[in-house]
Amino acid sequence: MLDAFIIEEIKRQEEERRREQERPTIPLPLDDDDLGPPARQGGDEGESERGVVIIDYSI
- As a three-state string, the secondary structure of 2-53 is CCHHHHHHHHHHHHHHHHHHHCCCCCCCCCHHHCCCCCCCCCCCCCCCCCCC
Q: What is the DSSP letter of 58?
A: -
Q: Report the predicted TM-score, pTM, of the whole model to 2 decimal places.
A: 0.36
CA 54-41-30 angle, to 5 degrees, is 70
Instruction: Give me Rg for the CA atoms of the chain.
Output: 25
% of residues, the chain, pLDDT over 90: 15
Report the percent of the chain where pLDDT is more than 70.
68
Q: Kindly report, residue by residue over 10-38, the tens digit of the pLDDT.
A: 999 999 998 888 777 778 777 666 556 66
Closest among 49, 33, 31 to 41, alpha carbons compared: 49
